[in-house]
Amino acid sequence: MVTSTVEPDVRAHIVEVADQLFYTRGIQSVGMDAIRTAAGVSLKKLYAAFPGKEQLIAAVLAGRHDIWERGVHGAVDAATGPREKLLALYDFLESWFGDDTFRGCGFINAFGELGATSPAVAEIARDHKDSFQRYVQQLTAEVVDAPEQAEELAAQLALLAEGAQTTAAIAGTTAPAAHARRAAETLIDAATR
């Protein structure tokens, strides 16, 4: 592993700029020169921090994962009771979808652009989605006693969240979060009868 000689704050700034450009314009349409210009760093410093675009993409996605985790966990932690914690996932989504900068899930977007040609990006996207699935499964285990039923419910609830993200990005509305929440309520109620 190569250790970067670039200051952590400069590196973080490059990642932030790249994230904004990738998220608004698409990864493939943004070259390293555009990132250098927008970040206000020399090409030498950019490549000292990130020897290649794939390393920069990985850093951007790691940052997105951290932001996602903080947002989801914050919403869930603020809710009271196991059922409400599961439903808080969809409240978080509705808030996120209402943000002016929302352009869909960065991992779905990255996978759509590069999943077929970049095994590293595909793996990062899968790991992120697996992490969310495991988290939802932990939450469903607090609601449903039977492990197999909790696992099935978790898969259904995660699928609702994933579908809501894609639909909201395309439709440009927060409504998919509310629809997914109501469907989640139905599934949770059916699983706990």
Express each pLDDT in 120-179 by its tens digit.
999 999 999 999 999 999 999 999 999 999 999 999 999 999 999 999 999 999 999 999
In whole angstroms, what is the distance from residue 132 CA to residue 151 CA?
13
Average pLDDT over residues 4-10: 84
pLDDT of residue 6: 83
pLDDT digits (tens, 9 = 90+) for 48-93: 999 999 999 999 999 999 999 999 999 999 999 999 999 999 999 9
> What is the architecture of the domain spanning 1-51?
Orthogonal Bundle (1.10)
Determine phi and psi for 71, rounding to 5 degrees: -65, -50
H-type helices in 79-146, by residue range? 82-97, 106-114, 119-141
Q: What is the pTM of this model?
A: 0.92
Q: Which two tokens stand for residue 40?
A: 């206000």
- What whole-number distance in Å separates Cα of residue 103 and Cα of residue 44? 31
pLDDT for res 34: 97
- Average pLDDT of the chain is 95
The reply to whether CATH 1.20.58.220 applies to domain 54-191 is: no
Listed in order, the ranges of the chain carrying CATH 1.10.10 are 1-51
pLDDT of residue 1: 47
In the chain, residues under CATH classification 1.10.357.10 are: 54-191
| pLDDT at site 4 | 57
Question: Under DSSP, is residue 56 helix (H, G, I), strand (E, B) or coil?
Answer: helix
Whole-angstrom Cα distance, residue 106 to residue 145? 34
Determine the pLDDT at residue 193. Answer: 87
